[in-house]
Amino acid sequence: MRARFWVSIAAVAAIAIGSVIGAVAIYVKDRDDFHRMQRDEAARAAHQVEAVAGLSIGKLSSAAAFFEAERDLSAHQFSVIGRSLLSQGALQGAAYIPRVPASRRPRFERLRDVEILERAPLGLRRAASRPVYFPLTYVTAVATPKRGIGYDLGSDPSREPFLLRASASGRPAATPLIPLLLGGTGINVYRAIYRDGAPVATAAKRRRALIGYVAGSFELGQLAAIATGALPQGVQAQLRVDGEVASGPRGELSDAATVPLHIADRTWLLTVEDPGGPDAGLPLALAILGISLAALLASLIVGWNRGERMRELERQASQDSLTGLGNRRRFEEDLAAAMARSRRDGSTGALLVLDLDRFKQVNDSHGHPAGDRLIKEVAEALRERTRASDSLARLGGDEFAVILPRCSREEARIAAEAIAEEIRRHHPPDGLDPVTVSIGVAMFGEDPRASVATVVSDADAAMYAAKDEGRDGVRVFDPVSVRGDGAEGR
C-alpha cells in the first residue's frame, strides 16, 4: 500500500511538474517569437530611416557633382542645372560666383525661397577669404528692409572638424547632434567637392583637389518620425547617439530590441519596445490548472491513504493475527450485534465455544510452530463448515467461538456436531496427529434479559461440561438446569 501511495504521489508530482514545464516551454516559445517580431520591427524602422537619409546623402552627391562642374558651366547652364537640382530637393539654394577679380562684386542669382542678397554679407566675405568655399546658410530677417544674414559653417567650431573629416576621407561625414541653424536639433552631413577630374586617391591629393562642400541637415524630430512611422501603432522607439538618448522615452526600455542605424559615417542605435509582449495568459492558465489538478489529486490520495490506514488499523485491532479470524474484541461486538438483531426480529441464535482437546501435547511433542500451524488449520476448517453470515473468532490459545444467527437449538447442535466431525476427520500435514474439539453451545434470543457475558459464560460452561464428559463432544447449555452444571448431553 505504501508503494502504491508513493507511486500515486509521484504521478501527481509528475502532472504538476509536467504542466509547469509545458507552461514554461510555451512561454519561452511565445517570448522568442515576440522578440523575433520586435527585432524585425526595429530592423524595418532602421532601414526606413537609413533609406530616407541615404536618399538625401545621394542628393548631396548630385549637388557636389554640380559644383565640381561649375568651372565649365556658363551662367545659363548653371542656372538650368541648378533649378533642376532645386526642384529635386538636392539643393536648397545655389549661388553662382564667377571667378572675378577681388575688386569686383560677385553677382548672385536668386533661386527658390532662399534669399540671396546682392550685397556681400559677412559669411561670403569669410568664404571668399578662404582657399575653398564653405557652405553658407542664409536666413532672412523679418524686418523691412529684408536683409539676409549669411552664416559660414566652416567658421563654427562645432561643425568645422566634420567638414575637414569629410574632405579628408572623401566620404560623407555626419556631425553629432547640434542645434540646427534653421531651428530645432539635428545633424549636418557634409560632403566634399573636389575639382573636376583632379586625382583624389590619397588624403593629400584630396586636400589639393578640394574646392568646397555641400551640406545637408536632418532634423531629429523628422528622423524619429520616419522611424515611428515605420512601426506599428503604440510601439515605442528610442534613438540614441553617442550614448545619449536623442529622442523617445528617457531611460532604459525593458524587454526591447536594439538595432544599429547608419547615417553617413555615424552609427545610431534604434531601440524598439512593443507593448504587446509575449502572452503569459495561456501558459499561466496551464500551470495553474496542472498544479490545481495535482493538488486536488494529492489531497484525494492523502485522504484515501489515511482512510486505508485507518481501516487497516481497525482491521488489525479486531483481527487475530495468526488465523485472520476475529479476535475477542470483535467477537464480543459481533455477539452483541447478533443478540440485538435476534431481540429485534424475535429469532434465536447460538454461540459455540470450541476448545481443542489436549492441544498442549501438540506443542510439547512437535513444537510451538507446529501448534500454530494446527491452529490455522482448525481456523480453515471452521471457515469451511460455516456460512458467510456466521461470525468466527479466535478467543485465545486453542479456544474459538462461532456465532450462528437465526438458528434453533437443534440446528445449532447439528452445526456444532458437523464442526466437531470436520475437525476430527481433518488430517493436518507435517505428520501432526489429528485433534478433537470440545464444543459448548449456548442459545440467545430465548431469554430477553440475557447479556453477552451470561451467554458466553453459558457456552463456556457447556464446553467445560463437554471436556468433563471425556472431550471430543458437543454440549448444549440448558438454562432450566442449575447454572454451571446446566449442560445437557448430546
Q: Which parts of this chain interact with ligand GH3 (CB under 6 A)?
A: 355-360, 363, 368, 371-372, 375, 397-398, 467, 471
Instruction: Compute the least distance from the CB of residue 334 to Mg ion, in Å.
Output: 22
Query: Is 315 or 360 the residue whose CB approaches ligand GH3 more closely?
Result: 360
Gap between the Cα atoms of 113 and 91, Å rounded? 11
Query: Is 226 or 375 the residue whose CB approaches Mg ion more closely?
Result: 375
Instruction: Compute the least distance from the CB of residue 479 to ligand GH3, in Å.
Output: 25
Helix (H), strand (E), coil (C) string for 98-124: CCCCCCCCCCCCCCCCCCCCCCCCHHH
Query: Is 4 or 358 the residue whose CB approaches ligand GH3 more closely?
Result: 358
Query: Is 39 or 467 the residue whose CB approaches ligand GH3 more closely?
Result: 467
Closest CA to 261 of 230, 235, 232: 230
- Helical residues (DSSP H) of 130-191, grouped into ranges: 160-169
Instruction: Compute the least distance from the CB of residue 378 to ligand GH3, in Å.
Output: 11
Name which of Mg ion, ligand GH3, none residue 349 binds, using a CB cut-off of 5 to 8 Å depending on partner kind: none
Contacts of 196 by beta carbon, 8 Å cutoff, 6+ apart? 68, 69, 71, 72
Other beta carbons less than 10 A from residue 400's beta carbon: 27
Name which of Mg ion, ligand GH3, none residue 444 binds, using a CB cut-off of 5 to 8 Å depending on partner kind: none
Give the contact letters, 330-359, x = binds to Mg ion (CB under 5 A), - = no.
Answer: -------------------------xx--x
Gap between the Cα atoms of 72 and 61, Å rounded? 18
Name which of ligand GH3, Mg ion, none residue 140 binds, using a CB cut-off of 5 to 8 Å depending on partner kind: none
Are 37 and 272 a contacting pair, CB within 8 Å? Answer: no
Name residues contacting Mg ion, limited to 387-406 (CB under 5 A): 398
Which run of H or of E encompasses 296?
helix 281-317
Rg from Cα positions in the chain:
57
Name the maximum alpha-carbon separation found in the chain.
166
Residues 375, 380, 382, 383, CA torsion sign: positive
Name which of Mg ion, ligand GH3, none residue 276 binds, using a CB cut-off of 5 to 8 Å depending on partner kind: none
Instruction: Compute the least distance from the CB of residue 327 to ligand GH3, in Å.
Output: 12
Residue nearest to ligand GH3 (CB): 371
Name which of Mg ion, ligand GH3, none residue 368 binds, using a CB cut-off of 5 to 8 Å depending on partner kind: ligand GH3
Query: Is 116 or 463 the residue whose CB approaches ligand GH3 more closely?
Result: 463
Gap between the Cα atoms of 245 and 231, Å rounded? 19
Query: Is 19 or 323 the residue whose CB approaches ligand GH3 more closely?
Result: 323
Instruction: Compute the least distance from the CB of residue 357 to ligand GH3, in Å.
Output: 4
Query: Is 194 or 359 the residue whose CB approaches ligand GH3 more closely?
Result: 359
Instruction: Compute the least distance from the CB of residue 400 to ligand GH3, in Å.
Output: 11
Query: Is 78 or 400 the residue whose CB approaches Mg ion more closely?
Result: 400
Question: What is the residue whose three cell numbers read 553662382?
Answer: 96
Name which of Mg ion, ligand GH3, none residue 147 binds, using a CB cut-off of 5 to 8 Å depending on partner kind: none
End-to-end CA separation in angstroms for the chain: 49
Closest CA to 88 of 119, 112, 105: 112
Query: Is 73 or 370 the residue whose CB approaches ligand GH3 more closely?
Result: 370
Closest CA to 126 of 101, 158, 156, 165: 156
Instruction: Compute the least distance from the CB of residue 451 to ligand GH3, in Å.
Output: 25
Name which of Mg ion, ligand GH3, none residue 246 binds, using a CB cut-off of 5 to 8 Å depending on partner kind: none
What letter does residue 326 receive in the DSSP assignment? B
Gap between the Cα atoms of 222 and 356, Å rounded? 112
Q: For residue 460, state whether it binds Mg ion (rule: CB under 5 A).
A: no
Name which of ligand GH3, Mg ion, none residue 467 binds, using a CB cut-off of 5 to 8 Å depending on partner kind: ligand GH3
* Interface ranges with Mg ion (CB under 5 A): 355-356, 359, 398
